[in-house]
Amino acid sequence: MTNVAIWIVAIICLIDLSSCATTRFAPPPVTPDWSAKSDQIHLTMLREGRTLFVHRCIECHTLPAFWHYRTEDWPRIVDSMARRSNLKPAERDAIVAYILAARAQ
């Protein structure tokens, strides 16, 4: 009986670990071809947005994958998180721009 319980716990742990690995999310770096439709200033803003996203949005939880939410939902989500992470309006804008650009790649 104890053996069965140990196996059940072990299996649950394994399932848990594997789901963790599949949800780990690496935000893509900004590459020059992202600016095909925009200019150099925009590229700098996107890079800054990525840096902010990677450093600030991981303070309380793992980084959310961009495809988990719809494009039109992201500005609202970042707005609500901007208050929690004390983002300046320009920083909030940079993060939204990065997420939307990354989604569009």
Among 42, 43, 54, 56, binds ligand HEC (CB under 6 A): 56
* Span near ligand HEC by CB under 6 A; candidates 8-16, 27-35, 40-48, 74-82: 74-82
Q: Residue 43 contacts by C-beta under 8 Å, 6 or more apart in sequence?
A: 30, 32, 34, 35
Q: Give the angle subtended at the CA of 15 by the CAs of 10 and 19, to the nearest 5°.
A: 145
Among 45, 46, 78, 94, binds ligand HEC (CB under 6 A): 78
Phi-psi map region of 35: left, alpha, beta (phi>0 left; psi -120 to 50 alpha): alpha
Q: Which two tokens stand for residue 53?
A: 């996203």
Using CB under 6 A as the binding rule, whether residue 96 contacts ligand HEC is answered as no
Using CB under 6 A as the binding rule, whether residue 46 contacts ligand HEC is answered as no
* Interface residues toward ligand HEC, by CB under 6 A: 56-57, 59-61, 64, 69, 77-78, 81-82, 84-85, 95
